[in-house]
Amino acid sequence: KQEVTQIPAALSVPEGENLVLNCSFTDSAIYNLQWFRQDPGKGLTSLLLIQSSQREQTSGRLNASLDKSSGRSTLYIAASQPGDSATYLCAGGGHGGTASKLTFGTGTRLQVTL
């Protein structure tokens, strides 16, 4: 059974800093790894999706990496802004044909201060 862990649970950084969010998963037979953002009282927004054959994906100031052998993924945010404040969740997609599904971590709550 896939288990996904995100540490730390909360992080506060000053505006302009580069930062890294961590995600660990137990089953290396992962199909893909997805990063989501959740604003308070809102649903999840997909940020990046890394297939198991890929090592990283980039979108603007965001870069996500995937290391299946170590069971880790990181989300790098460059030049952080107050608007980046949100909870970031990672989710591992497992194999299993039509029974495949995402297993979510509990998230890292990020606050970017002025």
Name the site residues for another protein (rule: CB under 8 A).
31-32, 34, 36, 42-46, 49, 89, 93, 98-102, 104-107
How many CB atoms sit inside 10 A of residue 58's CB? Answer: 11
Q: Please report where in the chains the tokens 């580069």 appear, as a residue.
A: 18
The dihedrals phi and psi of 52, each to the nearest 5 degrees, come to -65, -25
Complex with another protein: residue 71 or 107, whichever CB lies closer: 107
C-beta of 81: minimal distance to another protein in Å? 23
Place of tokens 């990020």: 110
Nearest residue (CB) to another protein, 74 versus 103: 103
Instruction: Report how far residue 96's alpha carbon sits from residue 56's, in angstroms, rounded to the nearest whole number.
Output: 23
Task: In angstroms, give the least distance from the CB of 17 to another protein.
Answer: 27
CB-based burial label for 52 (10 Å; 0-12, 13-18, 19+): middle
Q: Minimal distance in Å, beta carbon 107 to another protein?
A: 7
> 33 vs 112, which CB is nearer to another protein?
33
- Give min distance, CB of 56 to another protein, in A: 17
Instruction: Extract the tokens encoding 49.
Output: 């999706």
Of 13 and 104, CB closest to another protein: 104
